[in-house]
């Protein structure tokens, strides 16, 4: 009877279809030759997410185990959210550009994409930027864990840890600001009066609301994941993970000069110094 999937295998089983979705959307976006600026920016965001997902596949089981179950599960949710966002937007884009041919936007479609759907494009762009940032942070911290697996924490690694913590804190601040803006946008859209609704078709308003709701859900998950990553990026957490991965390792101080983690089996007597 086959055993359960490893963490890496389960992550890859979600990452592969997510990559497929991002690339299908990317192909559709790149075919629009005279795309508005908002679409061009979205194309760059999709490309960045694709690159981050590629790197995520390189994280090994040892690093996932060091990062813990919560990080792994929240990473899976982030990957699913990213895939769903790309699939939904791809379907919408095909509908919004139904009058266009050979990559050139018809005037009707340009008006829809460039004006009426501008807020939805901005919303998914922000969602994908956040997805990319979160996934890239997971990869960076996993790489950091891997770098101390068979070593001890050097001054260089301490500096990397400090930089990583600053980056995660910055990402958390950005996510908090985005959540405030999202809440305001949702409240304003729900309270919009009849005159405003007349300018926006009911179907379009419903789509915009759904996009904002999905972005909020994804951002909530990313925010929780960033909190976990901040805890995992602390020096003591990384040191403990390094000790666990090294198994039967011994910390010894040699005289007044050499100290740190010395892995392996020691035969014979050991001089512990003064």
pLDDT per residue over 203-248, tens digit each? 567 777 777 788 888 889 899 999 999 998 888 888 777 676 655 3
Return mean pLDDT, the chain.
Answer: 79
Q: Which two tokens stand for residue 116?
A: 């009426």
Rounded Cα–Cα distance for residues 123 and 214 (Å): 9
Helices (H), the chain: 7-30, 37-56, 61-67, 69-96, 107-111, 118-147, 155-190, 194-199, 202-232, 235-246
- Least confident stretch, 19-23, 61-65, 234-238: 234-238
Instruction: Give the model confidence (pLDDT) of 133-192 as tens digits.
Output: 999 999 999 988 888 876 677 888 888 888 889 999 998 998 888 888 888 877 877 776
- The pLDDT of residue 245: 61
pLDDT over 90 for what percent of the chain?
Answer: 32
In words, the CATH class of domain 7-245 is: mainly alpha
- Least confident stretch, 83-87, 226-230, 251-255: 251-255
Q: Do residues 52 and 135 touch, judged by C-beta distance below 8 A?
A: yes
Please give the residue that has the higher pLDDT: either 197 or 207: 207
- The pLDDT of residue 251: 40
Please give the residue that has the higher pLDDT: either 260 or 40: 40
Backbone angles phi, psi at 260, to 5 degrees: 135, -165
pTM for the full predicted model:
0.77
Residue 119 clears pLDDT 60, i.e. is over it? yes
Residue 262 clears pLDDT 50, i.e. is over it? no
Q: Which two tokens stand for residue 16?
A: 């592969």
Q: Do residues 171 and 137 touch, judged by C-beta distance below 8 A?
A: yes
């Amino acid at each position: 009877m086959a055993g359960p999937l490893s963490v890496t295998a389960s992550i890859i089983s979600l990452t592969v279809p997510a990559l497929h979705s991002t690339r299908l959307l990317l192909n559709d976006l790149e075919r629009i030759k005279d795309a508005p600026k908002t679409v061009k920016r979205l194309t760059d965001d999709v490309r960045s997410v694709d690159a981050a997902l590629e790197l995520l596949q390189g994280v090994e089981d040892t690093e996932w185990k060091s990062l813990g179950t919560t990080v792994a599960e929240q990473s899976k949710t982030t990957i699913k959210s990213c895939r769903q966002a790309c699939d939904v937007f791809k379907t919408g884009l095909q509908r919004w550009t139904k009058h266009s041919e050979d990559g050139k936007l018809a005037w009707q479609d340009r008006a829809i994409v460039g004006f009426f759907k501008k807020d939805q494009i901005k919303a998914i762009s922000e969602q994908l930027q956040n997805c990319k940032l979160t996934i890239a942070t997971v990869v960076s911290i996993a790489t950091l864990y891997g770098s101390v697996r068979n070593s001890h924490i050097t001054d260089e690694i301490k500096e990397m840890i400090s930089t990583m913590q600053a980056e995660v804190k910055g990402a958390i601040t950005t996510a908090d600001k985005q959540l405030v803006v999202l809440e305001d946008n949702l409240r304003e859209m729900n309270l919009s009066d009849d005159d405003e609704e007349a300018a926006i078709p009911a179907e379009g308003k419903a789509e915009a609301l759904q996009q904002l709701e999905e972005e909020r859900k994804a951002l909530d998950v990313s925010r929780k994941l960033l909190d976990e990553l901040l805890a995992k990026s602390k020096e003591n957490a990384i040191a403990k993970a390094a000790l666990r991965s090294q198994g039967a390792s011994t910390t010894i101080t040699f005289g007044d000069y050499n100290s740190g983690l010395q892995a392996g089996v020691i035969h014979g007597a050991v001089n512990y110094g003064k």
